[in-house]
Amino acid sequence: MKYFLATAALVLAACAGAYGATFLINTETQEMRQAARDRKTMAWLRTEFNLNQAQYAAIQNLHSQFLQECAGEAAAIMAARQRKDSPGEVAGLEAACVRAMTNHFQKTALLMSPEDGQRYLDMVLPHIADYDNRRAPASN
């Protein structure tokens, strides 16, 4: 419990970073640069991938669900590290986290047009290929 707030903050930062990994890559328009400066990842996503209101609402809902899942997985990883579980057990939890992020990104892409969905995956998936679960994927 001593590290709960720090762990929770780390989890939320990792989840937000996972979802917004790509906004550091492409800041072509003034609106996207402003969204990046303001850390408004969803605004950037909406603009960059030409989302209509229905797509945007569905992606926001998906993102909210993913944050809960991600928080649970990150807490499990942190708990395993604190308990000094075997490296294999920790690696298994970390791999599950990467699979969850990949799945989330793929679900998000399916809510976009096929072209924008593929472009989105091309931007975000490389950021989680070597994700080490110690920082947000955008930092890798």
Q: What is the pLDDT of residue 97?
A: 87
Segment 24-47, tens digit of pLDDT:
444 445 655 555 555 577 888 898
Contact 21, 85 (CB under 8 A): no
Most confident option among 13-17, 59-63, 64-68: 59-63
Q: What is the pTM of this model?
A: 0.65
- Tokens 């709960």 belong to which residue? 4
CA 126 to chain centroid, in Å, comes to 12
* pLDDT tier at 52, thresholds 50, 70, 90: very high
Most confident option among 26-40, 75-89, 118-132: 75-89
In the chain, the number of structural domains is 1
- Tokens 């599950």 belong to which residue? 96
- Tokens 């070597």 belong to which residue? 130
Range of the domain at 80: 4-139
Q: What is the mean pLDDT of residues 74-86?
A: 89
Q: What is the pLDDT of residue 74?
A: 85
* pLDDT tier at 12, thresholds 50, 70, 90: very low
For 42-98, what is the HEC assignment? HHHHHHHCCCCHHHHHHHHHHHHHHHHHHHHHHHHHHHHHHCCCCHHHHHHHHHHHH
Distance, CA of 35 to CA of 9 (rounded, Å):
22
Q: What is the average pLDDT value for the chain, to the nearest integer?
A: 75
138 vs 60, residue with greater confidence? 60
CA-wise closest residue to 102 among 134, 60, 130: 130
32 vs 107, residue with greater confidence? 107
